[in-house]
Structure 1
Amino acid sequence: MDNKNQLTLEQEFKLALYSQKVYKLNDQQIRKHLILTIKQMIIKDNIIKYFIRNSLS
């Protein structure tokens, strides 16, 4: 079995907590949360790209 993309026990726990919180939200709150999450993922990608570009120089 390939374990490269498996979550740690701590990550599984955090995921369960987030799932419980999201389950309690209404549709409008879920949309806002999803948009903020996607924005954070894009920012994270930009930071990673920045460090990769600058580490090669």
Structure 2
Amino acid sequence: MKLTLEQEFQLRVYQQQLMKLNPIQTQKHLIEVLKHMMLKDNFIKYLLRKAT
């Protein structure tokens, strides 16, 4: 799958913001992002189970 042009732009903006953080802030942010991705995965799995 590919990102849309808008998503690519958002990613670039996000990348620029991350470059301003120090390593500790970046690590904390990464952990939060991973947590949100896991929660999103759990929600999608829940919806798929509920749909069947």
TM bin, normalised by shorter chain, reads over 0.9
Does 2:29 align with 1:29?
no
The root-mean-square deviation of aligned C-alpha atoms, in Å, is: 0.4
Larger Rg: 1
TM-score, scaled relative to structure 2: 0.97
Runs in 1 of length 4+ with deviation above 2 angstroms? none
Structure 1 gaps of 5+ residues are none
Considering fraction of residues, name the structure with more helix.
Answer: 2
TM-score, scaled relative to structure 1: 0.89
Q: How many residues align?
A: 52
Partner Cα separation in structure 2 for residue 39 and residue 6 of structure 1: 23
Q: SS where residue 40 of structure 1 aligns? A: helix
State the match for 1:20 in structure 2.
16
Structure 2 gaps of 5+ residues are none
